[in-house]
Each structure stands twice: as C-alpha cells, then as structure tokens.
Amino acid sequence: MGVERLLRLWAMRATMNASQLLRSRGELLAWSVTSVIGNVGSITGTFLIAQRFDGIGRWSRSEILFMLGFAVLVNALLNALAGFNVGMVSRRIGRGQMDHTLLQPQPLWLSLMTEGFAPLEELGAITIGAGLIAIAARGAGVHASPAWVALLVLQVLSSLLILIAYQYAWGSVAFWTPRAAEEINTRTSSMTWSVANLPLDGVYGWLRVGLLTAIPTGFVAWLPCRALLGIEPAYPAALILTPAAAAVFAAIAILVFRKGLDHYVRTGSSRYSTFGHRR
C-alpha cells in the first residue's frame, strides 16, 4: 500500500515536472543546459588537473574520472529526489511552509519523499554521471560483475542518504530558530560540496576524519569510489563504511528531526502571516 502510493505520487510529480518544463521549448532548453553546465563545470577543475598530470596522487586519470562521474550522479539524483526545497528543509521549516506539508492527508515522510521529485531536468546530468562511470570503469580495468554493480548502486544510495540526513539534521535547527536558521541548509550544502570532487588521500589525518564526520564530504564520492576501485592502501571493511555511515547519519537525523517537530507542533511558526507571506 505504502509503496504503491509512493510510486503513484512519484508518477504524478514527474508528470507535473514534465508539464512545467514542456510548456515552452525555451524553458526546457534553459533548465536542461543549465543543469548540464552546472554539473560538468563543478567537476572540470579536478578533471583538468588529472588530465594534465596523468592522475592525482594514487588515483589514475580513469579513476579520477570515475569519482567525478559518481559525484555528478549523486548530485543529480539528489536534485531529482529532493527538489523544491525538500533537500533544503530549513527553508521550508523557517518559512513556516512545513504547515502546508503537515496539513496533507498523508504521513509526513511520504510527503517529503514525493514533493521534491523532479526528475526530468536532471536527466541530462544523470546520463552524464552514469556515462562517465561506465567509461571510466572500463578505463580503470574494473570487471563490472553483477555483484560489483550491486555494490555500486548500494554506495550511490548510501551517499545520497548521508547527504539528505546531514541536511535534515542541520535543517531541524530551524524548528527552534526559524528566522536565524532559515538558510542554514544553504551553508551546510556548500560545506558538503566544496571539496567533494577532490581525492582526500593527501590531506592531514585530522582533516580527513573531520571530512568524514563533522562534514560528510568524503562520503559524497571519495570514500565509496576508493572502496569500489580498490585504491591502495585499502581501508578495512572499505565497502561497508559508507552504508554503515549512512545508517548512523540517518539515525541522528531522524532523532533530531523528531525532537524539532515535537517542539514545532507545540509552538508553530510565527513567520506565517494571514495573507500567506512570511514575515
């Protein structure tokens, strides 16, 4: 029942996304081109360094390309699943818009899983990410067995879950301080993505630990790709590190979000004026 409704709502959202994009050729072109330029632009710097110096540190050129494809795919899937500020939940909470979601005749989790579904504008970026992974995997000499592909899918989903959980854990601060924390997710998103497209092998140990805990940048692409490609020196249980971290981040996010929601249902939002605008 839950899954069936989820799929039905996704189909409805995808149709709405299509009708929005297809209302004019210009609109479709603008969003598609921008998505591709944004995604490709974000990885070009790392790609150029790898191209110029035949790789970066222990990573060969193909392995770097694989990591960049992975990052593009994760980013595109995140945008496709958590658009319309579902992934920037502090804005919804801080602006008093969580009330709209709470009023829906369905569970909150279902609303949050479906309201941000906008896959069409990310199709180009998803294709580029998946294409880069396929090309680079061949170049890196990976034997893409069904088990390896399953592991790849698991790592992508784990990275996605970590990113969403991190945003929700921080975004929940807006339940207590709606005005001050309205844009906190803009900052946490910038923190996570600032060096997500770079290999972190050469950085100071304390910084690497920080980029896997306080800021989960290393889980966006570096650590899962390191495990999938078998980059030396291999970490123990490398392939389960990202899924295990996803479980921990998700547990923390659920705990903090629930606490925040408990507070919110008692106090509500003071920012929602009677004529619909935020103060």
Partner 1 sequence: MYAVPSPIVTSLARLRGYGATALISAVEPLNDGPLFLIPIGIRFVAVLVMLAIWRDVLGAHPGAAGMPLGAVLAYTLLAQALAPQLNFTSDLGEHLWDGSILGRFLWPQGLVAQVLATTAGRWVPDLALGTAPMLLGASLLHVSVAPASPIALAAFLLSLGLAITVGLAIDFAFTALTVSLRTTIWLIEQIRNATTALLSGGIIPLALMPWGLGGVFGWLPFAATASAPLRIYTGTGPILPLLAGQLLWALVLWPAVWLLWTRNREKVAGYGG
**257 in contact with partner 1 (CB under 8 A):** no
Measured distance between the N- and C-terminal CA atoms of the chain, rounded to whole angstroms: 39
**Residue among 5, 187, 258, 263 that touches partner 1 (CB under 8 A):** 187
Stretch that binds partner 1, among 66-74, 103-111, 123-131, 182-190 (CB under 8 A): 182-190
Q: For partner 1, which stretch binds (CB under 8 A), given 139-147, 159-167, 184-192, 256-264?
A: 184-192
* Residues binding partner 1: number (CB under 8 A): 40
Assign 50 to helix, strand or coil: helix
Q: Any idea which residue has 């993505």 for tokens?
A: 193
Concatenate the DSSP letters of all residues of 53-119 into one string.
Answer: TTSBTTB-HHHHHHHHHHHHHHHHHHHHHSTTTTSSHHHHHHTTTHHHHHHSSS-HHHHHHHTT---
Annotate each residue in 191-210 with x if it binds partner 1 (CB under 8 A) or - if it does not, as one string: x--xx--xxxxxxx--x---
Tell whether residue 44 is a contact of partner 1 (CB under 8 A): yes
Matching residue, tokens 């801080």: 94
Q: Which residue stretch of 14-22, 35-43, 227-235, 245-253 sits at the interface with partner 1 (rule: CB under 8 A)? A: 35-43
**Backbone region of residue 230 per phi and psi (left: phi > 0; alpha: psi in -120 to 50; beta: other values):** left
Contact between 139 and partner 1 by CB under 8 A: the answer reads no
Provide CB contacts within 8 A for 269, sequence distance 6+: 93, 95, 96, 98, 99, 178
CA distance 25 to 185: 32
Cβ 246 vs Cβ 162: under 8 Å:
yes
Provide, rounded to whole angstroms, the least separation between the CB of residue 267 and partner 1. Answer: 20
Q: Which stretch binds partner 1 (CB under 8 A): 17-25, 29-37, 125-133, 247-255?
A: 29-37
Which one among 9, 215, 247, 254 touches partner 1, defined by CB under 8 A? 215
Residue (38 or 243) nearer to partner 1, CB: 38
Residues that bind partner 1 (CB under 8 A): 30-31, 34-35, 37-42, 44-45, 48-49, 51-53, 56-57, 180-181, 183-184, 187-188, 190-191, 194-195, 198-204, 207, 211, 215, 277
